[in-house]
Amino acid sequence: MYSVEVYAAVRQFVFVEGRSRREAARVFGLNRETVAKICRFSVSPGYRRERPAAKPKLGPFIPVIDAILEADRGAPVKQRHTARRIFERLRDEHGYTGGYTVVKDYVRPARLRLREAFVPLSHPPGHAQVDFGQCIGFIGGVRTVMHVFCMDLPHSDAPFVKAYPAETTEAFLDGHVSAFAFFGGVPLSILYDNTKLAVARILGDGQRTRTRAFTELISHYLFRDRFGRPGKGNDKGKVEGLVKYTQRRFMTPLPHAVSFDALNAALEARCLARQDEHAGRHEETIGERLLRDLAALRVLPAGPFEPCEKKPARVSSTALVRYRMNDYSVPATYAFRDVLVKGFVDRVLVVAGAEVIARSAGNRSFMIEENVARQPCGTLWASFIFIRGRGSARAVRLPPAPRTRSTVCRAPLRVGHG
C-alpha cells in the first residue's frame, strides 16, 4: 500500500503535467497496473475481501461460540467466558482441533456485536424518576447509614432528596408525599426500578403486580407507574445520576446533624439552590426549565395521604400488638381484638375501628426490656396486672411510671381472668 504522497505525485505527473502512464511507471518505479489504479483513486482504497475468509476448522463450532456469548449476557461480569476459556471448552467438550488464535479472532468482533447500543433520550415535561441511594453521615453524633429517597424531573433535572434511617415502605411513601409537596404537583408518570417496595411480582409478560401500599399511593395521586428492565439501571439514568450527585455533592463531606429532620431541611435547601445552576449543555438554568415541568404536573389532591405501612394484627391476651418484631402495648379492654397497625417513619399507631388506641412517643426507638413498648394511655398499666399474677407481671417489674400515671395503675381491672 502506497502513501497518499505517492498518489498525489503520480496523479500530478499524469493529469497536470500531461505525461503518459508508461512514463510515470518508469519515473516512479511502479507497475503500470499500479499507476492505473492510482489514476482511478485519489487515495489508496485499501484491501477489500470479496467474501469473508473461510474457517474450515472453526466453522462448525461458530454456533457453539455464539450460544456461549449469548448466555454470558446474564452472568456476572467476572464469571463470563474469556476467549481462552471458550477455546478450552471447544477443545475439551466439543472435539475442536484448531488453534487458539482463530478462536480469539472470532470472539472479539462477535462480542462487540452483542453489546447494547444506546440512543439519546428526549424527556418531555411533567415526568419523573425515583430511586433510593445509600450514604453515611452522623445523626446526633452517631455514625449512621442513611437511605436517601431521590426524585428527579428529567426534563429540567430538578432534584428532590430526603434521607431516612431505613429503606422501608413508609419511607418510600413519605418520600413521594414530600416530593409532591416540594414541587407543588404530581408528575404524569414516574419511572422506577423493580423495587420490592412497589413490585410484589414480575409476571412473565413483563407486567408487574403492585404492592398494596404502592397501589394506594397511585390511586390517591393518579400518576402512571413505569418500570425499567431488571438489572438495567441505564433505563432510569437521570435519577441514577442524581443518586451519585447526592453522594458526591450533597453528602460530601460526611454530614453532621442533630436529627433527620435537621438534615432533611438542609437537603431541601440544597435542592432549591440547585435550581439556580446549569446542568449539562443547557443554556437555561434548572429553575428556568423547571417552569415547563411545573406547568405539566397534575394538581395535588385535596385530601391528605397517610404515608404509612398498614398491617392487620390481633391484640394478645397480655394486651400487646406485635409489629416488626416489637410488641406495642394497648389498653387491656382491647385484648383479643383485631386492630390495624400503622407504621409511619417516626411513629406507630394502633387503630381499632376509627379510634387510635395507642401511639408511640414521637419516635420508633422507645423499646424497653425485651422489645416491649410502654405506652402512657388509658388502662395500659392495668393491662399487665393480673389478679393471679400481680407480683410477677412484667409491668410491675418495669421501672415505676411517673406520678401522673399512678391513678391508672390503681384503677380496677375490668377484664375477667377468673
C-alpha distances in Å from residue 205, one per residue of 1, 105, 195, 209, 225: 55, 38, 18, 11, 16
Residue 415 maps to a domain: no
pLDDT at residue 356 in the model: 92
Q: Does 85 share its domain with 234?
A: no
Q: Does 369 share its domain with 330?
A: yes
Q: Residue 280 sits in a domain of what CATH number?
A: 3.30.420.10
Which one of 296, 326, 342 terminates a domain? 296
pLDDT at residue 204 in the model: 73
- The CA distance from 321 to 85, in Å, is 58
Q: Does 239 share its domain with 196?
A: yes
Q: Does 273 share its domain with 137?
A: yes
Better-predicted residue by pLDDT, 401 or 237: 237
The band of 159, judged by pLDDT with boundaries at 50, 70 and 90, is very high
Q: Does 375 share its domain with 285?
A: no
Strands 372-373 and 326-329 come out as parallel
Residue 57 maps to a domain: no
Number of domains in the chain: 4
pLDDT tens digits, residue range 307-328?
999 999 999 988 899 998 888 8
175 contacts 164 by C-beta, under 8 angstroms: yes
Per cent of the chain over pLDDT 70 is: 86
- The CA distance from 161 to 274, in Å, is 12
Q: Does 160 share its domain with 259?
A: yes
Residue range 249-274: average pLDDT? 96
pLDDT at residue 364 in the model: 55
Q: What DSSP state is assigned to residue 276?
A: T
Q: Does 132 share its domain with 228?
A: yes
pLDDT tens digits, residue range 112-158?
888 877 777 778 999 999 999 999 999 999 999 999 999 999 999 99
Residue 80 maps to a domain: yes
Q: First and final CA of the chain: distance in angstroms?
A: 107
Residue 122 maps to a domain: no
Residue 378 has pLDDT above 50, yes or no: no
164 contacts 261 by C-beta, under 8 angstroms: no
pLDDT at residue 360 in the model: 80
Residue 53 maps to a domain: no
Residue 168 maps to a domain: yes
170 contacts 309 by C-beta, under 8 angstroms: yes
pLDDT at residue 361 in the model: 62
Indicate the residue type of 235.
Answer: D
Which of 116-120, 151-155, 219-223, 247-251 has the lowest average pLDDT? 116-120
- The CA distance from 188 to 218, in Å, is 11
The closest alpha carbon to 155, from 120, 190, 123, belongs to: 123
Q: Does 186 share its domain with 280?
A: yes
Which of 187-191, 314-318, 366-370 has the lowest average pLDDT? 366-370
Q: Does 36 share its domain with 181?
A: no
Residue 404 maps to a domain: yes
55 contacts 27 by C-beta, under 8 angstroms: no
Sign of CA dihedral 69, 74, 75, 77: positive
As a residue count, the chain comes to 418
Q: Does 223 share its domain with 137?
A: yes
**What value does the mean pLDDT of the chain take?**
85
The whole domain housing 20 covers: 4-40
Which of 21-25, 171-175, 270-274, 401-405 has the lowest average pLDDT? 401-405
226 contacts 190 by C-beta, under 8 angstroms: yes
C-alpha distances in Å from residue 182, one per residue of 86, 150, 152, 173, 266: 54, 12, 12, 14, 14
Residue range 270-286: average pLDDT? 93
Per cent of the chain over pLDDT 90 is: 63
Q: Does 287 share its domain with 324?
A: no
Residue 296 has pLDDT above 60, yes or no: yes
Q: What is the DSSP string of 97-160?
A: -S-HHHHHHHHHHHHHHHSPP-------TTEEEEEEEEEEEEETTEEEEEEEEEEEETTTTEEE
Rg of the chain, C-alpha, whole Å: 35
Residue 383 has pLDDT above 90, yes or no: no
Q: Does 276 share its domain with 314?
A: no
The band of 207, judged by pLDDT with boundaries at 50, 70 and 90, is confident
Residue range 197-201: average pLDDT? 92
Residue 64 maps to a domain: no
